[in-house]
């Protein structure tokens, strides 16, 4: 019996990486009976006679996290690709991605693309926004000139001994960035749909690719993103600066809305917390408040 990590799933087969070798496997029959589905990123126990013959996954080891869209497990870093233009830069969408990442206890990184298509004034405005995200703990990559050797080296330096996914808006340039990191990947790219201000979905499945002593995956993009893996009760903990500054609130369970002596609202008023972060927080609360529970029909 051996241990390894699933790096690819296709047509019922799972490719497992173990000690720099790739083994093709299937899940044991009782997995289906127990309603267990292996995910890309899973650490597994498996048996295989050789790399050329199909083996079997015997057990899935405990997951530290699991993404919903797409289903992939045990992610360390999530690089959120945001476009400066086409599709338009959106702080609201960025915050949606980041609160999802926070819920899964992944390290969030932000990479700004298409900076060569905007003016210096536009670039400075976006850079000022992203400087705030750097201040609250997110790694920011916002090159004025796209795909320089220096910025590619900087993003590659985050890969070793980590499993990283690239995610973000459809059409923001995830696959293009990965192609610059490793031209041999030749991942499919597509043009932007001007009329819809969004890209065409080009990534069809999740695959973890060995890069710079780590594993990197390109995930399907989002034209829009709901609030994933969060409730109105847990939302407040998905904003790192709220968690820290909120320790100074009068009430321990302060939700930073109507409560008196709220340190978070004071921080918004004095500019310590960026206004858009608080505005988006209130909008997300309103969305979650309007969310109705979904009940499964009884058989």
Mark the binding-site residues for Zn(2+), compressed into ranges.
Answer: 249, 254, 256, 262
CB-based contacts of 234: which residues, under 8 Å, 6+ apart? 103
| Residues placed in the known binding site | 113-116, 168-176, 249, 254, 256, 262
| Residues placed in the known binding site for GTP | 113-116, 168-176
Q: What distance in Å separates the CA atoms of residue 296 and residue 48, rounded to the nearest whole number?
A: 40
Q: Are strands 77-83 and 107-113 parallel, antiparallel or unpaired?
A: parallel
Please check whether residue 18 is in contact with residue 9, taking contact to mean a CB–CB distance below 8 angstroms. no
Q: How many residues does the chain have?
A: 299
Q: What distance in Å separates the CA atoms of residue 105 and residue 77, rounded to the nearest whole number?
A: 9
Q: What distance in Å separates the CA atoms of residue 3 and residue 45, rounded to the nearest whole number?
A: 4
Q: What distance in Å separates the CA atoms of residue 164 and residue 76, rounded to the nearest whole number?
A: 6
The residue behind tokens 């199909």 is: 54
Hey, what long-range contacts does 8-16 have (CB within 8 A, 24 or more apart)? 8/40, 8/207, 8/208, 9/38, 9/39, 9/40, 9/205, 9/206, 10/205, 13/54, 14/38, 14/44, 14/57, 16/44, 16/46, 16/48, 16/55, 16/57
The residue behind tokens 């060569």 is: 116
Note the helical H segments in the chain. 29-33, 91-103, 120-135, 149-156, 174-181, 240-245, 263-269, 275-290
CB-based contacts of 226: which residues, under 8 Å, 6+ apart? 96
């Amino acid at each position: 019996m051996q241990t390894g990590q699933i790096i690819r799933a296709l047509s019922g087969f799972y490719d497992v990486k173990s000690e720099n070798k790739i083994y093709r496997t299937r899940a044991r029959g009782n997995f289906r009976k127990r309603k267990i589905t292996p995910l890309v990123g899973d650490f597994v126990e498996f048996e295989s006679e050789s790399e050329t013959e199909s083996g079997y996954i015997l057990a899935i080891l405990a997951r530290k996290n699991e993404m919903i869209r797409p289903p992939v497990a045990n992610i360390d870093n999530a690089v959120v690709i945001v476009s400066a233009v086409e599709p338009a830069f959106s702080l609201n969408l960025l915050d949606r991605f980041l609160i999802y990442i926070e819920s899964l206890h992944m390290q969030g990184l932000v990479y700004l693309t298409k900076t060569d298509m905007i003016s210096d004034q536009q670039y400075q405005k976006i850079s000022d926004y992203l400087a705030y995200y750097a201040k609250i703990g997110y790694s920011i990559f916002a090159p004025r000139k796209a795909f320089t050797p220096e910025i590619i080296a900087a993003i590659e330096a985050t890969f070793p001994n980590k499993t990283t996914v690239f995610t973000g808006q459809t059409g923001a340039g995830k696959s293009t960035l990965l192609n610059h990191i490793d031209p041999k990947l030749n991942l499919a790219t597509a043009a932007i749909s001007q009329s819809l201000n969004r890209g065409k979905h080009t990534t069809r499945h999740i695959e973890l690719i060995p890069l710079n002593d780590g594993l990197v995956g390109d995930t399907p993009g989002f034209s829009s993103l709901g609030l994933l893996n969060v409730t109105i009760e847990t939302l407040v903990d998905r904003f790192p600066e709220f968690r820290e500054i909120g320790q100074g609130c009068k009430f321990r369970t302060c939700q930073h809305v109507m409560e008196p002596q709220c340190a978070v609202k004071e921080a918004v008023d004095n500019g310590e917390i960026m206004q858009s972060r608080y505005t988006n927080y209130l909008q997300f609360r309103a969305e979650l408040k309007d969310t109705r529970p979904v009940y499964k029909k009884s058989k």
